[in-house]
Amino acid sequence: MAEYLLELRGVSKSFPGVKALDNVSLALRPGTVHALMGENGAGKSTLMKCLFGIYKMDAGEVYMNGEKIQVNDPDDAMRHGIAMVHQELQPVPARSVAENLFLGRFPVKKLGPIQMIDHKKMYKDTEYWLHEVKMDFNPKALLGDLSIGQMQSVEIAKAVSHQAKVVIFDEPTSSLSDNEVEALFRIMNDLRDKGVAMVYISHKMDEIKRIADDITIMRDGTYVGTWPAAELTTEQIIAKMVGRELTNVYPERKNEPGEVIMEVNDFCSIHENSFQHVSFKLRKGEILGFGGLVGAQRTELLEGVFGIRGVASGEIKINGQPVKIKRPADAMKAGIGLITEDRRGNGIFGCLSIKDNVGVSVYNKYLKAGFVLDHKSINAVVDDSIKKLRIKTPSMKEHIANLSGGNQQKVIVARWLANDPDILIMDEPTRGIDVGAKHEIYEIMNDLAAQGKAIIMISSEMAELLGMADRVYVMCDGKLRGEITEKEEMTQARVMGYATQF
Amino acid sequence: MGKKKLSFKDIMVNYGVIIIMILLVIYTGFTSKNFLSGNNLNNILMNMSSRIVIALGIAGCIITAGCDLSAGRMIGFGGCIAGTLLQKMDYSKKFFPDMEPLNIFVALLIVMLICALFGCVTGFFIAYMHVPPFISTMAMMEVVYGINLLYTNATPLGGYTKQYTDIATGKFLGINYLIWIAILVAAITWFIFNMTRHGKYMYAIGGNPQAAEVAGVPVKKTLIIIYAKAAAMYGLAGFMLGAKSGGASVNLGLGYEMEAIAACTIGGVSVSGGRGKVSSAIIGVAVFELLKTALQFLGVNANAQWIALGVIIFVAISLDIRKYVARK
């Protein structure tokens, strides 16, 4: 038997404009838990999706027990005994546990010429496999009625029932309670005893130390190295994850922050797992950074401030006056703007023109006789912002969908500038746009700050966060874990330290 | 980017249905001499008038990625209310025997207000209860039909005042009042779609409801106004149809909602939302009416005409979806 149960060699994968994986290797020993670590965007999930056949790798080979195998799609992967447990992979919440477990391979019995589903066998087998992972709940229960942890164990039971030899866990504990984490670890220990090799992706250092046998670290789509877990300290892991030079150059700031414009006190989400008891302050002319890992609830917090997400309790004060924000319109009245993280999802209107995309939130301001749109003034405003923000387009009538990501982002910036907010929240303002446009967005941010506007920037790109922000808050697991006020103290290790304080 | 040269394929995808229609009209015009006569064209325009009003109402709903199945029943309801208010005093089966017939403008106002009220209810369920438009308008369709049955006892109405039937027969500048009404409604709708906030909000909601919310668009309020406005227009259409046929029954307007939705789609109002103009709805109605009349003139079996209408809908919607997919 080969030393390694599964080997990935020289895997590369590019997306348009980004090299997501560059010659990455990974080797799993049988009967071990192999932690895969790295910052946001290091390529961990991409690598696993390549292994599982969700993405097609551009280059690279997969070996199982020393033999080369080909994985074209998740079905192939399952046939080769590779399974993936992913919290977003809840196949059919409206159907029963048993149906989910046997989806696509229902046991059948013959009734004359008719094939029909053998429900009895299905429920019995489900019970058996659930018992295998020490989870005794009703196979007839609706999957959607289970807790996330229970749903995960259904996924695990499915993996076990496939006789999987390799199981991938992609951030399985990010929304589990402590008890559920314990249950998961128990199952993982069982699987380890059975000789199954597991990949475990997580940012939680204490969990890694408890469960992992080996650790592979990735950085910016490249392979850093593999070490036995016992040989690395938490500090060493963080150092290896972030150990890179800051290469991007950020335009110089022209002003110093002024007095406090907004105060958020003891903000709590209506969801227990989301942001809880967060308080922060924002100053005029300041770029305030929010750092943290994906899932730290930064977006949720600031969308809560803007009135999109449910807020259970907490207070917002603007210029010392408490304001009530229930809907985005309230936030806008209070002088807040929000550029959302998901540009396609809730930013742009793809089928509308640039003009309408900018105009949609300022049509209120440009009316003749109280109700007729003043197209002339609106055109002037849109034209002006196309020039100022250097939006590359033949005309303002062009559909926004025809622009590049960077130019779309500038159109959204233009929408909010037309609104003239005092506070602008920018959630991942440079996600998915090219380097040139990034730099232009940075310049726009600096200009706005110099005009005395207050900017909140959420960024998962460490370099951007540290390069742009005057001050940084770091969140983890819905809570504010640290504040870094001095430029000299803004280091990647410091931020990562706070960001992993679960 | 610049202007791309239109290829033959692009032209066929964008205007295929309309081109086929024009060819059909030319062919019918040559083979049957009465088809392009002034009389027949006037007839077609008369038929189009109420359908344009309906289609423009429904277009607003479709642009927000919704639909309105209650249109047909709402037309019947509107037609019946108008009928009961505008019967001659000497008509033997008068619905309100002792009531003087109302002024037609007052009657029309009452019809439109009552329909708008029901439209508000539909809009409320769509906006606040998140009931999908398909379901909530279907529910309203049943409710309105039931109310109309109770109201009229399912008896057909007739014996309208001359003032009311004049709406259909009277002319201004040689053009029937009904056609003028359609022109006026089209003009007002164009104004609302292009020159008011409400119109812009409507497109924004259809284009991306989440983004509309974030951009501060009053999504719920806008949706309610759209469904109320549409219902008022169905009421107007019922009023027009009643005048034209000189009577009304509970089944007036039955199935018109499907025709209107089809017409909008043929004309280019996207069922995926966010796209569609006043001209789209009018062109769609024109295509539909011309097709029906041309097939009649060509002597196509009346039953087989339904098949032709269905095929046109298949083709038009397939092309519409193609446009949408290609843009993405």
Q: What is the CATH number of the domain that holds A276?
A: 3.40.50.300
Which amino acid type is present at position A361? Answer: S
- Number of structural domains chain A divides into: 3
Number of A/B CB contacts below 8 angstroms equals: 85
- What is the tens place of the pLDDT at every residue in A242-253? 775 545 568 888
Please answer whether residues A268 and A311 qualify as being in contact, where contact means their C-beta atoms are separated by less than 8 angstroms: yes
At which of A242, A271, A287 does a domain end?
A242
* Residue B124 falls inside a structural domain: yes
Q: Indicate whether A430 and A285 sit together in one domain.
A: yes
Average pLDDT in the A404-419 region? 89
Helix (H, G, I), strand (E, B) or coil at A279: strand
Chain B residues within an 8 Å CB radius of A367: 197
In this predicted structure, the answer to whether residue B327 has a pLDDT above a threshold of 70 is no
Residue among A327, A352, A372 whose CB faces B196 most closely? A372
CA neighbours closer than 13 Å in the CB half-sphere of residue A87: 14
Q: Do A308 and B214 touch (CB under 8 A)?
A: yes
* Residue B166 falls inside a structural domain: yes
Computed over every residue of chain B, the mean pLDDT equals 88
User: Is the CB of residue B190 less than 8 Å away from at least one CB of chain A?
Assistant: no
* Residue B296 in tokens: 């009649």
Q: How far apart are CA B13 and CA B5, in angstroms?
A: 14
Q: Indicate whether A327 and A465 sit together in one domain.
A: yes
Looking at chain B, the whole-number percentage of residues with pLDDT higher than 70 is 96
In this predicted structure, the answer to whether residue A44 has a pLDDT above a threshold of 80 is yes
Helix (H, G, I), strand (E, B) or coil at B277: coil
Q: Indicate whether A65 and A158 sit together in one domain.
A: yes
Q: How far apart are CA A292 and CA A39, in angstroms?
A: 10
Q: Indicate whether A57 and A149 sit together in one domain.
A: yes
Strands (E), A131-172: 166-170
Instruction: Give B56's pLDDT tier (boundaries 50, 70, 90).
Output: very high
Q: Do B1 and A398 touch (CB under 8 A)?
A: yes
Q: Indicate whether A182 and A298 sit together in one domain.
A: no
- What is the tens place of the pLDDT at every residue in A490-501? 888 888 889 888
Q: Do A373 and B207 touch (CB under 8 A)?
A: no
What does the angle CA A468 – CA A474 – CA A479 come to, to the nearest 5 degrees? 150
* Residue A107 in tokens: 């046991």
Please answer whether residues B270 and B182 qualify as being in contact, where contact means their C-beta atoms are separated by less than 8 angstroms: no
Q: How far is B210 from chain A (nearest CA, A)?
A: 5
Chain B residues within an 8 Å CB radius of A402: 1
Q: Indicate whether A233 and A218 sit together in one domain.
A: yes
Please answer whether residues A264 and A480 qualify as being in contact, where contact means their C-beta atoms are separated by less than 8 angstroms: no
Chain B residues within an 8 Å CB radius of A420: none
At which of A360, A391, A420 does a domain end?
A420
Question: Which residues does A77 contact at the CB level (< 8 Å), separation at least 6?
Answer: A51, A52, A53, A71, A83, A84
Q: How far is A339 from chain B (nearest CA, A)?
A: 9
Q: Indicate whether A269 and A415 sit together in one domain.
A: no
* Residue A248 falls inside a structural domain: no
Chain A residues within an 8 Å CB radius of B211: 345-349
User: Of B38 and B201, which is predicted with more confidence?
Assistant: B201
Long-range Cβ contact pairs of A387-391 (< 8 A, separation 24 or more) = A389/A413, A389/A414, A389/A417, A389/A440, A389/A444, A390/A440, A391/A354
The CATH number that applies at residue B134 is 1.10.3470
Instruction: Give B328's pLDDT tier (boundaries 50, 70, 90).
Output: very low
How long is chain A?
502
User: Is the CB of residue B196 less than 8 Å away from at least one CB of chain A?
Assistant: yes
Q: How far apart are CA B213 and CA A427, in angstroms?
A: 16
Q: Do A329 and B201 touch (CB under 8 A)?
A: no
Question: Which residues does B303 contact at the CB level (< 8 Å), separation at least 6?
Answer: none
In this predicted structure, the answer to whether residue B4 has a pLDDT above a threshold of 60 is no
In this predicted structure, the answer to whether residue A27 has a pLDDT above a threshold of 70 is yes
Q: Do B204 and A338 touch (CB under 8 A)?
A: no
- What is the tens place of the pLDDT at every residue in A300-358? 999 999 999 989 999 999 999 999 999 999 999 999 999 998 888 889 998 899 999 99
Q: Indicate whether A377 and A434 sit together in one domain.
A: no
With CA atoms as reference, report the closest residue to A473 among A501, A450, A448, A499. A499
Long-range Cβ contact pairs of B312-317 (< 8 A, separation 24 or more) = B312/B17, B312/B262, B312/B266, B312/B287, B312/B288, B313/B262, B313/B265, B313/B266, B315/B16, B315/B17, B316/B17, B316/B262, B316/B265, B316/B266, B317/B265, B317/B271
ipTM tops 0.85: no
In this predicted structure, the answer to whether residue A50 has a pLDDT above a threshold of 50 is yes
* Residue A344 falls inside a structural domain: no
* Residue A355 falls inside a structural domain: yes
* Residue B6 falls inside a structural domain: no
* Residue B182 falls inside a structural domain: yes
* Residue B4 falls inside a structural domain: no
pLDDT of residue B235: 95
* Residue A343 falls inside a structural domain: no
Please answer whether residues A3 and A179 qualify as being in contact, where contact means their C-beta atoms are separated by less than 8 angstroms: no
Looking at chain A, the whole-number percentage of residues with pLDDT higher than 70 is 96
Instruction: Give A78's pLDDT tier (boundaries 50, 70, 90).
Output: confident
Question: How far from the centroid of its chain's Cα atoms is residue A197's Cα?
Answer: 26
Q: Indicate whether A415 and A323 sit together in one domain.
A: no
In this predicted structure, the answer to whether residue A41 has a pLDDT above a threshold of 90 is no
Chain A residues within an 8 Å CB radius of B326: none
Q: Do A363 and B200 touch (CB under 8 A)?
A: yes
**DSSP classification of residue A502:** -
Helix axes B219-245, B177-195, angle to 10 degrees: 170
Q: Do B211 and A373 touch (CB under 8 A)?
A: no
Which amino acid type is present at position A393? Answer: T
Q: Do B196 and A371 touch (CB under 8 A)?
A: yes
Q: How far apart are CA A306 and CA A329, in angstroms?
A: 9
Question: Which residues does A444 contact at the CB level (< 8 Å), separation at least 6?
Answer: A389, A410, A413
- Number of structural domains chain B divides into: 1
Q: Do A328 and B214 touch (CB under 8 A)?
A: yes
Residue of B nearest to A399 (CA): B327
Residue of B nearest to A346 (CA): B211
Residue of A nearest to B197 (CA): A363
Helix (H, G, I), strand (E, B) or coil at B58: helix
Q: How far is B54 from chain A (nearest CA, A)?
A: 24
* Residue A224 falls inside a structural domain: yes
* Residue A340 falls inside a structural domain: no
Domain around A138: 6-242
Domain around B221: 13-327
* Residue A247 falls inside a structural domain: no
- What is the tens place of the pLDDT at every residue in B63-103? 999 999 999 999 999 999 999 999 888 887 888 888 888 88
* Residue B245 falls inside a structural domain: yes
Chain B residues within an 8 Å CB radius of A306: 214
pLDDT of residue B1: 37
Q: How far apart are CA A142 and CA A97, in angstroms?
A: 6
Q: Which residue in this structure is represented by tokens 């997919």?
A: B325
* Residue B5 falls inside a structural domain: no
Please answer whether residues B74 and B256 qualify as being in contact, where contact means their C-beta atoms are separated by less than 8 angstroms: no
In this predicted structure, the answer to whether residue A161 has a pLDDT above a threshold of 80 is yes
User: Is the CB of residue B188 less than 8 Å away from at least one CB of chain A?
Assistant: no
**Mutation site, B191, B193, B198, B214, interface A, largest A CB count within 10 A:** B214
Q: Indicate whether A443 and A497 sit together in one domain.
A: yes
Average pLDDT in the B49-64 region? 95
* Residue B3 falls inside a structural domain: no
Q: Indicate whether A287 and A390 sit together in one domain.
A: no
pLDDT of residue B194: 93
Of A151-160, A183-192, B123-132, B156-165, the range with the lowest mean pLDDT is A151-160
Residue of A nearest to B328 (CA): A401
Most confident range (mean pLDDT) of A420-434, A486-500, B192-206 is B192-206
Please answer whether residues A50 and A11 qualify as being in contact, where contact means their C-beta atoms are separated by less than 8 angstroms: yes
* Residue A356 falls inside a structural domain: yes
Residue of A nearest to B220 (CA): A327
Q: Indicate whether A413 and A441 sit together in one domain.
A: no
pLDDT of residue B325: 61
Chain A residues with a Cβ under 8 Å from any Cβ in chain B:
306, 308, 327-329, 331-332, 338, 340, 345-352, 356, 359-361, 363-364, 367, 371-373, 375, 393-394, 398-399, 401-402, 415
